[in-house]
Amino acid sequence: MKLELGKIKIDDIQFAEKTYVKDHVLYVNKEEVEELVLEDDKLIGCSLDIARPGDSTRITPVKDVIEPRVKVSGGEIFPGVVGKVTPSVGEGRTHALDGCCVVTVGRIVGFQEGVIDMSGPAADYCPFSKTVNLCVVIEPQEGLETHVYEKAGRMAGLKVAAYLGETGRNVEPDTLETFETKPIFEQAAMYPDLPKVGYIHMLQSQGLLHDTYYYGVDAKQFVPTFMYPTEIMDGAIVSGNCVAPCDKVTTYHHFHNPVIEDCYKHHGKDINFMGVILTNENVFLADKERHSDMVAKLAEWMGLDGVLITEEGYGNPDTDLMMNCRKVEKKGVKVVLITDEFPGKDGKSQSLADTCDEADALASCGQGNATLQFPVMDKVIGTMDYIESQIGGWAGCVNEDGSFEAELQIIIASTIANGFNHLAAKGY
């Protein structure tokens, strides 16, 4: 598959009478967006706000972050969710509004939505403190079941991102990049002297608001499969989960998976990037065993020399991570794990809930239990009502003036376990 990705640089968002892009500014008709969101009768309120880097603004509780995009050719954006399933994405041409995001915000679903600060100490830990964000604040019907509310919020964000992405369809991008992965035997023959490297991409799929969607299908319903990397870069996977904020792989991160992007940078130079083995994270032991067996079989069939493995979440998924590691290594394939750590506030507990002897090469994305002081902000988009019950917060952590102390894991993507962050840990 061959994908052309055009990036249209966006430096600011402003409200206007119509929605369009001009001179690196995204102009948005607020009323049209609000009407689009409220087409879903499960939502009774919608308001829009803009958050810019450096603003004294806090956004919480954050549900998802999405980059506006449009498929110029080769399928439709968010296939199986917003767009048509076929033809599949990952080829043709896509335009992205680079530098801006749609951020869905609203009354809490569980306790796993997070915080984005546009300035202050927490901004150093969050990638979305550096983007211009159109915040879509939603209000659900009273008594709505949490999973129904999650779907309504997910769909609201995706529809708004697709609507805004259309503004870039006929705009000449500032940059145009091409990514290509050929069918497996052709790809292997292209660089016979380079090590064949793959990526094992573990999706959160443990249910109870822990779901991810592959071409519109809940990830817990499929078995491990092969994907072209460009499919993932092009919207085939969307987030639908409420895992710990620091770990949450937002829809934006599926577009911008750093493992895939870095493997393409090295492709044809020092590695032959063969593609992605897509798998999920399971609840029951039999499923974990079955799916890790399938992952190892795919790695062997692809003739891989090495793989990188990432997970989403922590605790129970650590067992899936280690099973994949152990079984793939036993097939003669070298493994490097990428994950974050949770050793407790004092740093003295075991960092991962599971381990294995084969896990001898690991890149750490930092630890989520360290605490940080969050100062008062001039503006809150959403509500501070749930800080003490969100992951990373605790009863009594909020001061009378609105400042609070919390663990890093309350910040969206602060220790995200695929490397899209600024934290690391050094081993000795």
Residues catalogued as catalytic? 242
Contact status, residue 83 vs residue 73, Cβ threshold 8 Å = no
Whole-number Å distance between alpha carbons of 17 and 107: 29
Question: What CA dihedral angle connects 96, 40, 141 and 243, to 10 degrees?
Answer: -40
DSSP string, 187-212: HHHHSTTSPEEEEEEEEP--SSS--E
Whole-number Å distance between alpha carbons of 280 and 54: 37
Q: How far is CA 428 from CA 363, 366, 425, in A?
A: 13, 15, 10
Kind of pairing, strands 371-374 and 92-98?
A: unpaired
Nearest to 340 by CA among 417, 418, 406: 417
Is the bond preceding residue 183 a cis peptide, omega within 30 degrees?
no
Secondary structure tally for the chain: helices H, strands E: 8, 24
How many Cβ atoms from other residues are within 10 Å of residue 399's Cβ?
Answer: 12
Written in H, E and C, the secondary structure of 87-135 is CCCCCEEEEEEECEEEEEEECCCCCCCEEEECCCHHHHHCHHHCCEEEE
- Give the contacts of 120 (CB within 8 A, at least 6 positions apart): 56, 374, 375, 377
Nearest to 61 by CA among 155, 161, 158, 153: 153
Contact status, residue 257 vs residue 273, Cβ threshold 8 Å = no
Q: Which two tokens stand for residue 191?
A: 């660089």
Nearest to 252 by CA among 231, 238, 265: 238
Whole-number Å distance between alpha carbons of 387 and 394: 8
Q: Which two tokens stand for residue 395?
A: 């009863």
Contact status, residue 427 vs residue 363, Cβ threshold 8 Å = no
- Give the contacts of 233 (CB within 8 A, at least 6 positions apart): 3, 5, 90, 179, 255, 256, 257, 260
